[in-house]
Amino acid sequence: MDIRSAYSAALSSLNATQYASSITSTNIANANVEGYSAQRVNTATTYSDGSAVGVGVSSVSAYVNENLFKSYVSAVSQTTYAQTTADHLSQLLDQYGAVDSGSALADLITDLETALADLSVTPESQTVKNTVLNAADQLASTLNDLSSDVQQQRENVDGDIENAVTTVNQALTEIEDLNREISVKTALGENTSALEDARAQALLTVSENMNVSYFTTNTNELHVYTTGGLPLVDSRAHELSYESTNNVNAVTSFDDITLDGRDVTNQLSGGTIGALVDLRDETIPARQEELDALAGALADTLNAVLNTGTPFPPQNSITGQEVFDGSDAFSASGTFRIVLSDADGETQSVTDLDLSTYAMVSDLAAALDGIAGVSASIDANGHLTILSDDPDLGIALSEMDSEVGSDAQGVSDYFGLNDLFIGDDAGSIKVRDELLDDPSLLSCGKLSQDATLSVGDVALTSGDASVALALQEAMNTTIDFADAGAMGATTLTLADYSAELLSSFALEVSSVETQAETKGLISETLASDISNESGVNLDEEAARLTVLENQYSASAQVIQTLNDMFSSLISAVA
């Protein structure tokens, strides 16, 4: 090798070392950038006529453990699913109130029970009746609020689905654009490491929102698919489509999430979208089912008891709450008693109806209307109405041994003639307006069932506390609850069911929070492993700079030596 060849070799070393130093500096500068993979300069010997004449940069690459990265992509999807579920359920649980909070449903039920206990001692007290109705009204209002919170949470979740779909579409478009640029640069033999890092981050954004599968083509393009095998990115991006729904309620139907016009809602498992869909369609509606079960049991239990009684003094007119058509079949047995009474409870007329003789609702209405001094009909709203023709007399009812329909309800309960609550789910339950307007209509006692009751006899009294006692007992009586939401079939009191409902929900939230924490740790561990293998290690980069500095100095020394040799040669010739 002559001096000129040696000079060329040393210069190529300087250039390669300088380029390697710039890449190492770039690595150090991006040490804290998430997703950045440390780049490495690959050098190769250059040859001329079969002889080594120097060194050159052959490529710049970044090492990525693909198997480790695939595991991380999957873990990210699982983590965001768990975290999204935990976040939304925790928000909803906050609306329920803490288990030991005074706003908890069980405490409100206890308040009602306490008020009913007081009423059983002083059934004639209008103040105590008002306390009972206020307690019942607060309990119903709380159930209404919780039902509203549940549906509002579903609406929020539905809006989040639309936002997540938008985020996914932006990431898919980014992958498409990066694919195009990476493919061109790969064909030209140019460095694509930074672009591939950006594409990997876009893929992680997609996986944060949904489970995906993917592979890299021989042209270095990334193709992404749903778990059902539909393309999200191939030669182009295929965007998801979804519009959220406003004013969500328990019976709202939601649009499908579509991909190229196909419903893919069930293929978007995992990630934020998968969690949101499950929350909206299954997990949160389960909470509504539980509240509805409690509200229905509360209304049915107390209404059944209150309908065995009658107010003192009796009402001039009574309107049922249940809706019927006159032609509806009426299957009943036993006797139903109707008494016209004055304000002191003295009987003015008494009629016992044999229910087995009536085939339709209209037949019963006609029989009631046929009683002297009584008018009855099915009104325009489908409610049974019973009216005393004499404004100074009231209508007092006794279910006696009546049994109507498959549930064997008493007549009054069947038609809702003396209900405490109207509505049969958590969203609609409320105390009957007439009772809130006039607490004296709250029944505490029963109409006499004496077979010899006659005109002039006392049919009911203000001091009768039999119904008030029965209401109190009903609050402590176990009820058979069917499966509802996450609550299995059980037999509990109203208070115990409400406490179990809240406790069960709190345990579920605690469980999903623990899952989110566990899966988050797994993701963090995988991210750390990737960083250790592919990320920037400042100590290693600093050491590499020292090596490069020494290489550069050595190459420079060679050039300096060659310069000296040239100078000596020139001097010798001169």
Supply the DSSP string of 452-477, one letter for each residue.
T--TTSB---TT--HHHHHHHHHHTS
Looking at residue 172, its pLDDT comes to: 97
User: Mean of the pLDDT values across residues 405-421?
Assistant: 96
Look at the chain and count its residues: 574
395 contacts 418 by C-beta, under 8 angstroms: no
272 contacts 403 by C-beta, under 8 angstroms: no
Pairing of β 332-333 and β 212-216:
unpaired
> Taking Cα atoms as reference points, which of 475, 474, 471, 500 lies closest to residue 487?
500
Looking at residue 574, its pLDDT comes to: 65
> Taking Cα atoms as reference points, which of 88, 76, 87 lies closest to residue 209?
76
Give the C-alpha separation, 410 to 403, whole Å.
Answer: 5
- Say if residue 3's pLDDT is above 60: yes
- Say if residue 316's pLDDT is above 80: yes
317 contacts 395 by C-beta, under 8 angstroms: yes
pLDDT band at 573 (very low <50, low <70, confident <90, very high): confident
Q: Where are the domains of the chain?
A: 3-63+536-573, 66-311+464-534
On whether the pTM is more than 0.95, the answer is: no
Half-sphere exposure of 171 (CA within 13 A, CB side): 25
Q: In this structure, how many other beta carbons lie within 10 angstroms of the beta carbon of residue 560? A: 11
pLDDT band at 193 (very low <50, low <70, confident <90, very high): confident
15 contacts 43 by C-beta, under 8 angstroms: no
Q: If you ran DSSP here, which 8-state letter would residue 56 be given?
A: E
Looking at residue 311, its pLDDT comes to: 95
Give the C-alpha separation, 415 to 319, whole Å.
Answer: 9
User: Mean of the pLDDT values across residues 323-349?
Assistant: 96
